[in-house]
Structure 1
């Protein structure tokens, strides 16, 4: 009986780990792909959030700049600014010379909303004034 015929039989068959490196490599590649996908998803969420915050800030400034034209005109200006930033204006309110807007960015699970307010700087009142210090003596 030759060596080949005995190796092909069931009783004399030896099990080896031949090819196990391929299985481990495929497993490692699959894990790396999942980690990479999670990283991309988190990165997309961060970019969406920053886009919404920037658009809300700019839209609030635009509305506050045009408050004297009326609330509808100021909010229309805020909507144009938000659309130029590839976001949508969810809420806009102008009370006096102060605007309060909310902008949203993204779709589906990556939707982010941000709120911003803008208006003129108020003069510091007595409670807000910076105390002055005199040297002791």
Structure 2
């Protein structure tokens, strides 16, 4: 690997994190904060999931995901269903209200990204999305 390319990537990632932190200082785009958005998106896209599975997916402590899930449940965005094989465990499922809030937040986030990339070509957007996906997969 070319050391200059790696140095550019390292620096640009640091700058990207700074930009993300500055625009999301309140961690809210739309109606959901980042953690709520990601949990609801995961459940919506992949079906019901337990706290442990979500913690594994996001590489978080079970207690962190449990606390986030409790907040979503309190707002009526998710509900718990008992695990048929282990009645002590439960799965989280998204409610209609949760799906509505997720959709609204997704639209707000997409509008922000669309505005930032308005001068990019379709090919550049496609390539960036593909490379960003590939990069994010390296953390799994």
Normalised TM-score (structure 1) = 0.25
Q: Report which of the two structures shows the higher radius of gyration computed on alpha carbons.
A: 1
Higher percent of residues as strand: 1
* Structure with more contact order per residue of length (Cα contacts < 8 Å, sep ≥ 6): 2
Higher percent of residues as helix: 2
Normalised TM-score (structure 2) = 0.24
